[in-house]
Chain A
Amino acid sequence: MTIPDTSPLDAAAPAATTPGTEAAAVVRGTAPAGTNTTGGSPQGSNARRRSGRRAPARRTLTYAVLVVGVSATLLPFVWMFLGAFKTQGELLRRPITWWPEQPTLENFSSWFNELQIGTFFLNSVVVAVFTVLGNLLFCSMVGYALAKMDFPGKRFLFLLVMVMLMVPGVVTFVPLFVMVSKLGLVSTYPALILPFLAAPMGVFLMRQFIMGIPDSLIEAARIDGAGELRTFLRIVMPLCGPPLATLGILTFLGSWNNFLWPLVVAQSEEMYTLPVALSLYSTGQNATDYGLLLAGSVLIITPIILLFVALQRYFIQGVAATGIK
């Protein structure tokens, strides 16, 4: 297998340094509405002026398509949030009701009182935080070595990273489970965290970005007598804000929503992460308590949606740059 010269990530490196690339255009486009930062790209403003002037009907149609599409996309969320405040009786009643008739917090309170959601929440947070920190540190270190150092085995290491990018979790989880159980680590934080501490995607992202940092900058630091560690910490890392933000967000998202491995390895209730807890309750004896399940969904989704809305441009930049979820 050969490594392609261009990759979706090549757009990632220049995105933060030179405007005018694909990714940069997307990022500019995500600036808050009203500031109209996309006016900088000529084709964008031309296209808009063109359709605005000549085809008001088409413009209306475009808006109609988007409004219908976005409503359909968001309807399940609206339904989830409204349903979480309905009583079980109202949820089962037909015809369906839209607005909760007797809004209740009971669905939420049973998560807190009977189902120890605090524990699951804490587990999810601990796993996500350590996974993010590990990835930021380890991926940027190896990314720096791959981008700016010459060493035997470099090409081979990079090739391995590329190959591992396409390995689905389902391939490794059986031996991983055997190993974890041999080590007596089933239902522990290390088992939940360690396998995700160094994602190939992160290495790829960091390497692509660090390659875009001028060699002269690094040479200058070396000539001034800085060692590699100092060059890395003082010169490279401070320049890596954008890719680190992207990597941190994508890793957090991946960890928060990760399911298969926690399902396999968190075998005692006090080690469940949020998705595992919800899935086991939703297929266990609580399977028909829709109020409870909808409230659980709301509790899992709300933190990540708040984070997304606050940092949406970085999320979207990450997707445009890496082409992954």
Chain B
Amino acid sequence: MRSLRMIAMGMLFHIKHVSRSPFDIAVFVVVPVVQATLAVYLFRASAEPQKLLQAAVGAGMMGVWSSVLFGAGGAISSQRWQGTLEMLMLAPRRPVMIFLPITLAQGAIGSYALLATLVWGRVLYGIRLDFARPWAFLVTAPVTVLSLGAFGILLASAFVLMRHANALQNALEYPVWLLSGMLLPISSLPAWTGPVAAALPTTWGARAMREATAGGPVWPSLGWCVAISALCLVLGAISLVHVERRARAAATLALA
């Protein structure tokens, strides 16, 4: 119970923290809408304009991934720049318990992208929100978003090992959009990308959302998304302990 309370309070604190940043607010508010508009015009120009709802959901998922990648993935870097990383690491809890609320909060913030693209599509482009399985969508969306937040812990721990995490962040946005089939089916990609895509929780999350939108077996996909994200969470927790010990031993916590 104490852990759950800590996660909830940590999420709330981080969301409040981000809400004070004009940069974060502007980017998180505007960019998903631009992506949704882009997706709408691309699909309108195509021979399959009937898939506009799937395009809007896909664009929303792209926004969730961007939020997780740049927010959750860069959480440790951000703490370092703000000079608060050492204090966080001094806290008498496991590192994963310190950073999980931050990455979950970024996932939750990313859910705005999903909501915004749907509202934008409905209001401006008249896209009918005819979900094949609306109740499944209402369950799938938050579970997927939180799963990706948990996946963010692995990113965060990986990025702390690298001095130039921002370069990796910039390089990772589009490949995951592409490999996860957020805007177009994975079947249109070369066959060798299949195993890579299957290992990403984003692929299964996007698939579950698509199945809830257009019809299909939602729960197996959602189950895979949660399972792979949980595995990433465990690996991230182990990695964070390793990183913390290494940084303490080398006295490079603020420099690593």
Q: Are A and B interaction partners?
A: no
Interface residues of B, Cβ cutoff 8 Å to A: none
User: What is A's interface to B at a CB cutoff of 8 Å?
Assistant: none
